[in-house]
Structures are given as structure tokens and as C-alpha cells.
Chains A and B, each alone.
Chain A
Amino acid sequence: MAPEGKSPRLPEAGQWPDRVAPAALVAGIVLTTVGFLMAFLWVPPVGGASVGGAELIGDAMVSQKLLLSQKIFYFHMPVAITSFIALVFGAWYSLRFLRTREARYDTCARIALEITLLFIALTMITGEMWTRFEWGVWWSWEPRLTTYLVLMLVVIAYFVLRGSVDEPERRAAFSAVVAIIAFIDAPICFMVTRLIPSSIHPVVLREGGMSPEMGLCVAVVAAGMLCVAFALYRARFRQVRLAQRVEALKEELGD
């Protein structure tokens, strides 16, 4: 470890996760590419999201099943899964921070939430494209979309909050609490929007189970996305750590 005394001790890097990270990146790229090819060449065509009967969404009557747009699903869902897993890690690191008060967990939580935000944005983008084509509207208050919108807003608020507190330890404690609240809020939000029958919003049936081919394809892409997310997390972590080390060094030399 770092020699004792004045030398800055910081969130460690350079252990096994950093050795794994490049491999994870390669694996992620390979898996997502394989998943991409599978989605278009191998998985038999499935109907897209179908609506219970025919529904009026926006200005268009929607009832038909569309084939190609359904291919978005093979990336949409893995990305959504990844974002939620990143949020779980963020909340876990936040909890560890609150118990130990160690700055490194704060950094970890912050970067995990950055990854969460990134993947939520990806989920929204892919989801948007789907909604736009299948239902002809840019937005529909569908439970999943709504949940992700709310989650995205909380995560954005998390970063705004970080920006508006100056004192590092207080900032870390506040944002950890918000991250945990976000983590609790998301499932409740999904349940609430899901369980309450609404007379206005169409109930979108996407279930009926996935065929084994679909499941496999989603699993492959999900594994790939997780690898990519991990590699990104680690790269960001190293970069932030470097910046912190430089800051610490500057303080040591500054006077």
C-alpha cells in the first residue's frame, strides 16, 4: 500500500478489477455484437408490443403487430436491466459510505450513479424509438416508461444536489441518502403505476413469455451490456481517482 505518513491515501485502483476491465470491455463488445447479429439473423420474427384490442393512441388506431421494430427490444431490455443493476450498486456503495464515512465509497457511489444515468438515458432513447414507431406518439404514460422517467429525474436531481453542496463530507452524506431513496422509490413507482388500473392509458401486453430464442438473445446482450458498463465504470473510476490524486498532490505542494 501507499507508504505511511503524508503521502495521499486514496481509493485504490490497480487491483483485480482493473486487470479484468479490458477483458470485460472486449467481452462486452463481442457479446453485444453477437447479440446484435442474433437479433436480426437468428431469432424468429415476433410481433411487437401488442395492444389489448385496438386502442387509440395519439391520433392513430394501433392494433397491428409490427415486426422489425421489435428488434429494438433486444437492446432495450438489457440496457434497462443494466441501469437498474448499476443503481443497486450505487445504493449499496451509498449505504457503505454512510456506515464507514470513507470518501472512496462516495466516489464509487457517484460513478455507479453516473453509469445508471447513462444507461437510463439509453433505455429512454431505445424506448422512445419503439414508442414512436409502434404507437406513433413520442410519449406514452406506460408504467415502465413512467418509472424510468421518474428514476431519471431523481438521478438528475442527485447530480444537481451534488453540485449545490460545497462541503465534501456533507455532500457525500446527502447524496448517499438521496441515492438510497431513489433505489427504494423506483420499485414502488413501478408497482404503483402497474397495479392501479387506469381508464385512460392503454395496457400494453408484452408478456406471454419470451420464446427461448428471445430469452437467449436478451441474455447475451444483457451480459455484454453489463461487461461494457463495468469497463466504463472502471475507466471512469481510474480517471476520477487520478484527478483526486492530483488534487491531493497539489494541496501537499501548494504551500
Chain B
Amino acid sequence: MAEREKQERARRSDAPASPRSELCARPSALEQYRVLLMKDLRQELRTKEMLVSMGIYALLVIVVFGVALSFARPGADFLEVSGGLLWALVVFTSLLGLNRSFSHETENGCLEGLLLAPLDRGVVFLAKATSNLAFLAIVEVIAVPLYWVFFSSFAAPAASAPLIVVPLLLGSVGIAGIGTLLSTITASTRGKDVMLALLFVPVVFPLLYACVSATTAALAGGVLMEEAFATSLALAAGYDVVMLLASWVLYDFVVS
């Protein structure tokens, strides 16, 4: 039995070394990752579809917040709410972007074209997650100062306010990671917009909770800052690591 297997293996390795054409040399995964990422960025730079729609959407959400808060009395209490509002803005905007990002891939069956190439599925995931992260970051860079401009009259944030960059970064990484997996799933379902929201919101709930806590702590400063900031960030980072790993492993099953 084992003998036969050995022969079988020998026969197989006898077969021509590779059916690959002379023209090609297998590129490294890093090179493929770079190529895929550049593709997403170039496409976006050309159409600006995602960035524009996400940016305008963020502005609209800010306007809605403005209405919602128009009868609130300005005061220090606002700082406790503002972290949460900021994250509501981020979540809704990223939902919009995630929905968009994968419709490019399914539009002409492009995803299949990528899968035909000798390409690790993890690379596809990482490239897509990176580009989603990049777009989300760009939108945040515009939306967060805007948010500050509109609402800074309510209450002056504590001196530690610039630290909100850290939870924003951790949150965006997690959102881009798990969001890429979930949007790949929902891209080929019926009613995909609703489906993505339905899956995405409960799954990112823990991350959201941790990030809101850290953001609020940074904005309010004081005791809250000392108590909650580090713990929240550690938990958010833990979530990122676990979920990114899980998404990376599970991605193969989603695309094939």
C-alpha cells in the first residue's frame, strides 16, 4: 500500500515540473497584495464614488445630530454623549462604504477573475480590508474635525481629547476587518444592504462599546479617563486581533 503510494508520488513528480508558461514567474504574496491594493485605490481615485458618498453621508448624519441636539442645553454633560454620537457617525458611514466596496467586485464577476489567479485567498482579504481601512480613515479625517466644528460650542473637551485618535484607529481596523468578511458574504445575497447592517451591527457591538467608552473617556477626561481608557483600548485591541484572525481564516470558505 505504502509502496504504491510512493510510486504514485514518484510518477507525479515525474510529470513536467510545472505547467506554467515560460512567460511567468510566481510573484510573491506581498507583490500580489500591493497590486490588488493599488487596483482598489486607483479605481477609487478615478470614480471617487465611495469617498464622495461616504463624505456626504457623514455630513448629513452630522446635520441630523444637529437637529436632534438642537433643544439640548449645552454643558459638560454633552461630552458624555458626544463619544457615542461620533461612533454612530462612524458606524453608519462605514456601513455605506462597505456595501459599496464589494459591489465593484461582483459587478462584472471580477472577484472570480481574481480567484482564477494563483493567489492566496488571505491576500485578497487583506488587500480589501486595507483599502476599506484607507477609505474609512480618509473619511474620518474629514468627518471628525467637521463634527468638532459643529459641536464644539456645546462643551469644551478635556485636554486629553486628541487621544481619541487611538480608539478611532483601533475601531476602524476592526470595522474594516470584520466588515470586509461580512460584506463579502452579503454581496451575493438578496437585499444585501439590509443584510449587511443586520450582521454587522451586532457583530461589532463589543468593539463599538469599547471604542465609545475610550472616546468618551478621552473627551471627558478626569477620573473616567484614568479608569476606563486603558481597559477599553486593550479590549478593543483584543477584539481586533481575534476578529481579524478569524476573518482571515474564514475568508477562504466565503469566496469558494
Contact = CB atoms under 8 A, between A and B. Distances in A.
A–B touching in complex (CB under 8 Å): yes
Interface in A163-192: 164-166, 170, 173-174, 176-178, 180-182, 184-185, 188-189, 191-192
Chain A binding surface SS class: helix
A192 B209 contact: yes
A165 B232 contact: no
Contact of B185 (A150, A154, A178, A195): A178
Contacts of A63: none
B205 A189 contact: yes
B238 interface: yes
A196 B189 CA distance: 36
Given A164-B190, A192-B206, A180 B250 contact: yes
A188 B238 contact: yes
A154 B203 contact: yes
The size class of the interface chain A forms with chain B is 20 to 34
A153 B202 contact: yes
A112 B189 CA distance: 23
A197 B250 CA distance: 33
A91 to B, nearest CB: 11
A193 interface: yes
B201 interface: yes
Interface stretch (B8-16, B58-66, B92-100, B223-231): B223-231
Interface of A: 98, 150-151, 153-154, 156-157, 160-161, 164-166, 170, 173-174, 176-178, 180-182, 184-185, 188-189, 191-193, 195-200
| Those 6 A-B pairs whose CB atoms lie nearest each other, nearest first | A153-B202, A192-B206, A164-B190, A189-B206, A157-B198, A164-B189
